[in-house]
Each structure stands twice: as structure tokens, then as C-alpha cells.
Chain A
Amino acid sequence: MTDDKDVLRDVWFGRIPTCFTLYQDEITEREAEPYYLLLPRVSYLTLVTDKVKKHFQKVMRQEDISEIWFEYEGTPLKWHYPIGLLFDLLASSSALPWNITVHFKSFPEKDLLHCPSKDAIEAHFMSCVKEADALKHKSQVINEMQKKDHKQLWMGLQNDRFDQFWAINRKLMEYPAEENGFRYIPFRIYQTTTERPFIQKLFRPVAADGQLHTLGDLLKDVCPSAVAPEGREQNEPRLKTDSRSEQE
């Protein structure tokens, strides 16, 4: 893992230039200027948009404001997906900046989870980390950690502290010397073309004969429609990974 430090830093510090515009039907006391922000790929919308919220609420009356939510070209944005994932899934083929519309009413109950507080984001994040460790280590590493370590992981993400985060995360990314990898690889594959939100299956990093599995092996196994059969000329499937604590 230490050899990959540069890659880890590049992933962590990835940013998406974004332009936030208030939805035209929101009631304002004066014109709302768009708000520009560099969004961290590895974080969550509701964690990093306090300034956006404040900016637009300045031109609105209290009674016209309820829970904030975001939308891109008509699609409500799931705050519980990492920002980089949302961008890659929905907007990567469009020109920058990423244009997001901000809403303060008509929360789409059927599409979006509520985000009542920062605690909800922390709970969601920790739940993902725990599930990943259930796959990697049968939850042994995460359960052996103290509450303060869990807190440090979260604070590292919240405050954009690479070193603080990875001091704890590196333990979640280790495996015993005698093993060749994790028990199972924690991954999720998102596609816009499918009904279900993502594909998640059990997948071992090492084959029965001891060969290390590649990303191609994983894709062929769990998502064959995304991979061109050998020998045929097809467009290369574009794959974006958003490696965080759950994935290498």
C-alpha cells in the first residue's frame, strides 16, 4: 500500500468543478447568483455543501426553505453516493463545470434518502466501511478498532485530512502475510442502464489455482455485458473506479 501513496493521494484529492444554480421555481427575495465550488470526489454532497446552502438561503425567506436536495438534468442526486461516482455516472461526458440545480422544496421522497444531520452521513459512511470489512476480514479488523479510531476515520473524511484518514484506513487495507489478499473484494458496479442500483457479489481475489484475479476477471464474472468478448472489435468499455476505503 505504501508504494501506491501517490495514487492514493491523487484519488483522495480529486476534485470536480461544480456550478450550483437555484431552481427557478424557488421563491427568492432577490436574484440568486450561481455558486461555484470544487467538490471532493471521495466525499458526499450534503457533507460539503454548507456554503452552498447558506449562499442561497440568504436570498430566501425562512418559510420557503425546507430540506435541501440536488438535481442534475432532472435526476435527483443521491447524497449517499460518493460525489465522484455521481459525476462519473451522470455527467462525465458533459463539459465542465458540472451544473447542479439546488432545491429547497418538494423533496422527492420516493427517490432520495433524507439527510437530517451530519450524523446521518457519518452513520452511512461507517456502515459502508463496516460492510466492506465484513467482506475483507469477516469484520475482525473494524471490530477490533476502538471507537476513537472509527471517529478518526470519519473526521479525516469530513475535514479532508489524508494522513489522518489513512493512519486508520491502512489497517483496513492490510491482510495476513500468508494470505494472498482479502477474503472477498468489496466492490459495487454502477451502470445507468440497469434497473437495480448496483451489482454487488462475492468475489475472491485469488482463484482456486492460486492465480490472482484481475479486474477483467471480475467484470467477466459479474457483469459480462460490459466486457467485449475477445477477438471482436468493439468500443473499449470505459471503467472509472473511485477507490476509497472500500476498494483498492
Chain B
Amino acid sequence: MEEDEFFGEKTFQHCCAEFIRHSQQIGDGWEWRTLKDSSEGYMCKTHFQIKPETLMSHSGASACVQTCLPIEEALELPLDDSEVTETTTGSQVIKYEYHVLYSCSYQVPVLYFRASFLDGRPLALKDIWERIHECYKTRLLQEPWDTITQQEHPILGQPFFVLHPCKTDEFMTPVLKNSQKINRSVNYITSWLSVVGPVVGLNLPLSYARAASEDENVHQ
């Protein structure tokens, strides 16, 4: 299909390729998946998040730090023995899967994600809402149905949570205009993901930004 569009699918794929290149350099885990018999594809990443319980009944250790570690390292943390049982640890580790797809209707990228406990139990929408970063909660509580909802993944056909794309244009336009003004190139995907990712626990190391301004101008 023709691309007289601001951010067409080809540009999307190009930005993702650049993004993934940097991800590979720093071992950040993003991959590209294509559909067979098609030029379409999407980016995805899995990570595990550990939230240790505040230990009420044990003296001493009381770690209230959210960390993002590979599962093997997490289990080596000096936790009370009784906490490192199948059930307790299982209920504290959450596996997040993030997918970045292109919406041809809105001509923007869209963030899909799902989360489950290690035993496979998925997190419910209300669990997701609870885990949203404090600073975004106000907005979300006012308009919950406009921001994060459960939807069918358009390629996999499975339930995922989605961050609504209809406002993406609003916040991305100033970013792109400014980058033109100060004559510094910007990777649309990097900028966009750095805005929406943190809302749902996905953080981007700063090196992505440096990489983007070093890349050839991927967005005219």
C-alpha cells in the first residue's frame, strides 16, 4: 500500500531495526518476529520482575526494592529461607512480555503486553492497574477505559493488555518537531517507547538515546 504517511509501516520497521541493533549491543533482549508469508512483523521482549514481600514476621531483612533481574540471580538474593519456597517465590515473580506492533489505522506504534506469575496464571486487568507507576495513576483512574484495556493481539489472537494509541500522535508530534528544530535525529520508536514504556514497567537504558542521535537520520 502506498505510504504518503507521516509514520508508515516501512519507517516503523526501519526504526525497529535500528532499535534492535542497539538492543543487541547492550543485551537488552528485544527481538523482531515476522509473520510467515508476509512482510509484517513486530518487536518483542520478555523480562522478569521481582517484587520481594515486605517481611512482617521476620526480623532483619526487609527489602522493598523493585528489581529487574534474570531469574537465576534473583533467587540468589539473601532472602530468608522460608521465603524461597515454590509458592512464595512463584507469586512474587512476574513475567512480562512486551510487543510493539504497528497500527495502520492510527499510523503509530502500539504497545501490547501481558503478565503472568511463574506458574502461568495471568495477571488480571486490576492487577495491572495496581502496578502502574504512581505518577500515571491519576490520569488512568480518571479515564481507565481510554488508556489500558485488555484486547486481542491482532497477530497472535490472544488476550493482551494494550496502551491506547489514539493519543500517541499528540505527544510524538512535539518531539519530532523539536528534533527537527535542533537538528538532532531521533528514532521514533526509541522516543515513543521511552514515553509509554515506563507507564507499564518497561524502562529504556539511556544509551538508546545516544545511539539514536548517532544513527543516520532515520526520520526525515
B159 lies within 8 A of A134 (CB) = no
Interface-lining segment among A10-18, A123-131, A228-236: A123-131
Q: Which residues of A have CB within 8 Å of B158? A: 110-111
Q: Would you call B218 an interface residue if the criterion is a C-beta within 8 Å of the partner chain's C-beta atoms?
A: no
Q: Would you call B151 an interface residue if the criterion is a C-beta within 8 Å of the partner chain's C-beta atoms?
A: yes
Return the chain B residue nearest A80 by Cβ. B152
Interface of B is mostly: loop
Contact A198:B149 (CB < 8 A) given known A110-B159, A112-B159: no
**Chain B, 129-179, CB within 8 A of any chain A CB:** 145, 149-152, 154-159, 164, 166
Instruction: Compute how far the CA of A80 lies from the CA of B154 in the bound complex, rounded to whole angstroms.
Output: 13
B104 lies within 8 A of A131 (CB) = no
Given pairs A110-B158, A134-B166, A195-B157, 17 additional interface contacts (CB within 8 A): A78-B152, A110-B122, A112-B159, A113-B152, A116-B125, A120-B145, A120-B149, A124-B149, A131-B105, A134-B105, A135-B105, A186-B105, A196-B157, A200-B104, A202-B1, A202-B104, A203-B1
- Interface size, A (range): 20 to 34
Q: Would you call A114 an interface residue if the criterion is a C-beta within 8 Å of the partner chain's C-beta atoms?
A: yes
Q: Would you call A97 an interface residue if the criterion is a C-beta within 8 Å of the partner chain's C-beta atoms?
A: no
B122 lies within 8 A of A123 (CB) = no
Chain A positions near chain B (C-beta within 8 angstroms) = 78, 80, 109-114, 116, 119-120, 122-124, 127, 130-131, 134-135, 139, 186, 195-198, 200-203
A131 lies within 8 A of B106 (CB) = yes
Instruction: Compute how far the CA of A162 lies from the CA of B219 in the bound complex, rounded to whole angstroms.
Output: 46
Instruction: Compute how far the CA of A203 lies from the CA of B1 in the bound complex, rounded to whole angstroms.
Output: 7
**Contact residue among B145, B150, B154 (Cβ-Cβ distance under 8 Å from A200):** B154
Q: Would you call B182 an interface residue if the criterion is a C-beta within 8 Å of the partner chain's C-beta atoms?
A: no
Instruction: Compute how far the CA of A182 lies from the CA of B157 in the bound complex, rounded to whole angstroms.
Output: 28
List 5 A-B pairs, Cβ < 8 Å.
Answer: A109-B121, A112-B159, A120-B145, A131-B105, A200-B104
Instruction: Compute how far the CA of A197 lies from the CA of B159 in the bound complex, rounded to whole angstroms.
Output: 12
**Contact residue among B1, B121, B125, B157 (Cβ-Cβ distance under 8 Å from A114):** B125
Contact A197:B152 (CB < 8 A) given known A116-B125, A123-B145, A131-B105: yes
A-B pairs with lowest CB-CB distance, top 4: A123-B145, A197-B157, A202-B1, A134-B105
